[in-house]
Structure 1
Amino acid sequence: MEDFLEKLQENQSKKVQEVRAIPPLVLAYIGDAIFEVYVRNHLITQTKMLVGAYHRDAIGYVKAQSQATIVRTLEAELSEEEWRVIKKGRNQKPATVPKNADLMDYKYATGFEALIGYLFYMGKTERLMEVMSRSMEILDKR
Structure 2
Amino acid sequence: MDNNIDLAAIIRENFGVPGEPMNRYSPLALAFMGDSVYEIIIRSIVVQEANRPAGQLNKIKVKYVNAAAQAKIIEFLEPDLTEEELDAYKRGRNAKSYTSAKNQSVTDYRKATGLEALCGYLYLKGDLDRLIELLKKGIEVIDR
With the length of structure 1 as denominator, give the TM-score of the two structures.
0.86
1:67 aligned residue? 70
1:78 aligned residue? 81
Residues 79-123 of structure 1, C-alpha deviations (whole Å, 9 max, x = no match): 121111111000011102122110000000000000000001111
1:27 aligned residue? 30
Q: Across the two proteins, how many residue pairs are aligned to each other?
A: 136
Q: Which amino acid aligns with 1:79?
A: T
Q: Which amino acid aligns with 1:127?
A: R
| Structure 1 position 58 matched with structure 2 position 61 | yes
Q: Is the 8 A contact 1:71 1:108 kept in 2?
A: yes
Residues 3-60 of structure 1, C-alpha deviations (whole Å, 9 max, x = no match): x99425679x957xx1111001000001000110100111122234321011111122
Unpaired runs of 5+ in structure 1? none
Aligned partner of 2:11 among 7, 32, 42: 7
1:89 aligned residue? 92
Query: Which has the larger displacement, 43-52 or 119-128?
Result: 43-52
User: 1:9 and 1:44 mapped to 2: Cα distance?
Assistant: 29
Q: Is the 8 A contact 1:14 1:122 kept in 2?
A: no
**1:130–1:9 CA distance, 2 compared to 1 (3 A):** farther
Unpaired runs of 5+ in structure 2? 1-7
Choose between structure 1 and 2: higher helix proportion. 1
1:104 aligned residue? 107
Please state how far the C-alpha of 1:132 moved relative to its aligned partner.
1.9
**Helix, strand or coil for the counterpart of 2:64?**
helix
Seq. identity, % = 34
User: 1:74 and 1:9 mapped to 2: Cα distance?
Assistant: 32
Q: Which amino acid aligns with 1:128?
A: L
Q: Which amino acid aligns with 1:126?
A: D
Q: Which amino acid aligns with 1:65?
A: A
